[in-house]
């Protein structure tokens, strides 16, 4: 089992402490599970107190034993109740805390109100945007996780054509793909920071189901098997000459490599093949412009221009009113990290950023055409981390 090295945790905490110094904070009190894992090395339930000038204190509600085993920080204490927080923080900081950063993007209101009661003289400051910006720049340790996840994705993807058969339900194909991933050590859960969002492995959809959007901020979603989980593979049977979308998150060490590929049984209609060529054109043009210093909102506008120039503006990233306003998103421990390649985004590309670029076209009644790859921003431009070829994959009708 891979644990986060102490040097890596120290680097992350120091980056956040620099932000806290800039904003005149005495510390940060974190409880969101992926922030705990990112800065603490363990997502066991509790709070991580990061003083502005000291190593963190990890206060664990459950499971204390596992937290001690998983984190490389020295100071780990059991937390028997929220009222202990004030005592722990006062004793550890050795001073009165006046300004404390919280993750106000995800913190429940009732928990926030309890913290107000426990710390009546403390000013709470929203630190969530700064936390996401710190997590936006990946280290060599993190980039290695993406590369390992990419190897797994390439291995699984090579086996998918042999699983595609006429009449096979989407849910069975999805189950077979997910079994391959689990055998490679996939954790099963794709984590998302946005409120009320979730995903399991990813999505498989075919034909018209590829045009079925859902509550996720995504141009695709799939039909699913129940309104209680209206996304992903459904019971529709695979059929010839229609796009079969496989949108999965390969993982290693908690890090998500998000990718999408399209398969078909027999050739696709010429209209859809032309749309795929347009998706490749969008990818190529954005990649050429995505150098350090590029504004992400400008890259989104460039993609829109190319889609429109191909006569496909109404179908790009959704159909008309259901279009989403982005072409890419950061990936990491969550699948919805910074930077956002979206309408009006002010994020500026920097070396160390890792994002998924997903030019896709949605055709009602016909499905989704497009692709998704993960890219690393380097000093000279983008490096493709995804190892899977960009080609459409056609399974012969005779072998279906």
**Per residue in 255-290, pLDDT tens?**
999 999 999 999 999 999 999 999 999 999 999 999
Give residue-wise pLDDT tens across range 125-169. Answer: 999 999 999 999 999 999 999 999 999 999 999 999 999 999 999
Higher-confidence residue of 215 and 296: namely: 296
Read off the DSSP letter of residue 137: B
- Give me the number of domains the chain comprises: 2
pLDDT for 84 equals 96
Is pLDDT above 80 for 398? no
Read off the DSSP letter of residue 24: T
**113 and 240, same structural domain?**
no
Q: CATH number of the domain at 62, please.
A: 3.40.350.10
Q: How far is CA 119 from the centre of its chain?
A: 34
Helix, strand, or coil here: 71? coil
User: Is 1 a member of any domain?
Assistant: no
**261 and 375, same structural domain?**
yes
**191 and 102, same structural domain?**
no
Q: How confident is the model at residue 299 (pLDDT cuts 50, 70, 90)?
A: very high
Last residue of a domain, one of 135, 168, 190: 135
pLDDT for 17 equals 98
Q: CATH number of the domain at 370, please.
A: 3.90.230.10
**Which run of H or E residues covers position 305?**
helix 296-309
pLDDT for 37 equals 98
User: Is 264 a member of any domain?
Assistant: yes
Last residue of a domain, one of 101, 117, 135: 135
**179 and 118, same structural domain?**
no
Last residue of a domain, one of 135, 156, 175: 135
Q: Which two tokens stand for residue 125?
A: 């400051």
**153 and 26, same structural domain?**
no
Question: End-to-end distance of the chain based on CA atoms, in angstroms?
Answer: 39
**30 and 179, same structural domain?**
no
Give mean pLDDT, residues 223-252: 96
The answer to whether 356 touches 372, Cβ cutoff 8 Å, is yes
Q: What's the domain range around 248?
A: 137-399
Is pLDDT above 80 for 338? yes
pLDDT for 93 equals 85
Whole-model pTM?
Answer: 0.96
* Ranges assigned E (strand) in the chain: 27-30, 45-51, 57-62, 76-78, 99-102, 123-126, 189-190, 199-200, 202-206, 244-252, 255-265, 326-330, 337-342, 354-357, 360-363, 367-370, 373-378, 381-384, 393-395
Is pLDDT above 70 for 399? no
Is pLDDT above 70 for 174? yes
């Amino acid at each position: 089992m891979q644990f986060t090295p102490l040097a890596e945790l120290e680097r992350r905490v120091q980056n956040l402490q620099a932000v806290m110094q800039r904003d005149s904070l005495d510390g940060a009190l974190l409880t969101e599970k992926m922030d705990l894992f990112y800065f603490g090395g363990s997502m066991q339930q509790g709070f991580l107190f990061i003083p502005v000038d000291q190593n963190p204190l990890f206060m664990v509600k459950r499971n204390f034993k596992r937290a001690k085993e998983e984190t490389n920080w020295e100071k780990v204490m059991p937390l028997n109740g929220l009222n202990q927080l004030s005592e722990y923080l006062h004793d550890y900081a050795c001073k009165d805390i006046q300004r404390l950063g919280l993750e106000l993007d995800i913190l429940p209101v009732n928990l926030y109100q309890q913290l107000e009661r426990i710390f009546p003289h403390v000013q709470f400051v929203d630190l969530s945007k700064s936390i996401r910006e710190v997590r936006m720049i990946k280290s060599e340790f993190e980039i290695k996780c993406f590369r390992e996840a990419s190897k797994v994705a390439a291995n699984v993807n090579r086996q998918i054509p042999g699983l595609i058969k006429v009449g096979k339900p989407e849910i069975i194909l999805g189950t077979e793909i997910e079994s391959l991933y689990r055998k490679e050590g996939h954790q099963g859960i794709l984590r998302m920071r946005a409120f009320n969002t979730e995903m399991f492995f990813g999505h498989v959809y075919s034909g018209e189901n590829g045009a079925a959007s859902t509550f996720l901020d995504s141009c695709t979603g799939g039909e699913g098997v129940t309104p209680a989980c209206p996304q992903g593979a459904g019971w529709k049977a695979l059929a010839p000459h229609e796009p079969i979308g496989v949108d999965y998150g390969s993982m290693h060490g908690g890090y998500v490599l998000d990718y999408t590929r399209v398969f078909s049984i027999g050739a696709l209609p010429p209209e859809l093949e032309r749309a795929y060529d347009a998706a490749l054109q969008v990818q190529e043009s954005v990649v050429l412009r995505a150098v350090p210093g590029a504004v992400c909102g400008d890259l989104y506008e460039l993609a829109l221009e190319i889609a429109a120039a191909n006569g496909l503006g109404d179908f790009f990233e959704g159909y008309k009113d259901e279009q989403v306003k982005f072409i890419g998103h950061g990936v990491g421990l969550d699948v919805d990290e910074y930077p956002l390649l979206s309408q009006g985004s002010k994020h500026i590309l920097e070396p160390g950023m890792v994002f998924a670029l997903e030019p896709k076209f949605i055709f009602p009644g016909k499905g989704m055409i497009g692709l998704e790859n993960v890219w690393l921003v380097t000093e000279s431009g983008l490096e493709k981390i995804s190892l899977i070829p960009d080609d459409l994959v056609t399974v012969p009708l005779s072998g279906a």
